[in-house]
């Protein structure tokens, strides 16, 4: 016990939050990009092949701003949804859902690594 202590004072000598936010955004954008591309590649490998049109139609798209980064996997043939989920006449042959599930398990680790890298590489203020 410290006698006479009535409170705690914290003095911030350096505020790295603005720089850290910039680096985190860059690293998170890369993590989203990598996860999206990996999921698309897995989906291509899992998709059934008849003519190759389904596999050939699987592409990726990226968007975002300084706060949000979005990766999208696009299945460009109109029958992709029927292959993925099936119909009353045809059994499902999932290719996209398993790919996303597989990558999402790794995504949390990638986010953690991206944050650690951003903290490590963030320059000192006025350096």
117 vs 124 pLDDT, higher one:
117
Residue 60 has pLDDT above 60, yes or no: yes
Q: State the pTM of this model.
A: 0.76
CA 30, 33, 38, 39 torsion: positive or negative? Answer: positive
Contact 19, 125 (CB under 8 A): yes
* Model confidence pLDDT, tens digit, residues 47-57: 999 999 999 99
| 127: pLDDT strictly greater than 60 | no
Cα–Cα distance for residue pair 94/42, rounded to 1 Å: 12
Summarised one tens digit per residue, pLDDT across range 24-34 is: 777 788 889 99
Q: State how far the Cα of 70 lies from the Cα of 32, in Å rounded to an integer.
A: 7
């Amino acid at each position: 016990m410290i006698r006479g202590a009535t409170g705690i004072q914290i003095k911030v000598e350096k505020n790295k939050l603005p720089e850290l936010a910039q680096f985190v955004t860059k690293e998170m954008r890369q993590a989203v990009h990598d996860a999206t591309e990996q999921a698309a590649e897995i989906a291509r490998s899992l998709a059934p092949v008849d003519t190759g049109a389904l596999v050939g139609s699987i592409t990726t798209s990226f968007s975002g701003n300084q706060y949000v980064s979005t990766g999208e996997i696009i299945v460009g043939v109109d029958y992709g949804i029927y292959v993925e989920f099936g119909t009353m006449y045809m059994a499902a042959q999932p290719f996209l859902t398993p790919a996303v599930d597989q990558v999402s398990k790794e995504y949390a680790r990638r986010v953690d690594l991206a944050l650690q890298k951003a903290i490590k590489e963030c320059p000192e203020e006025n350096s």
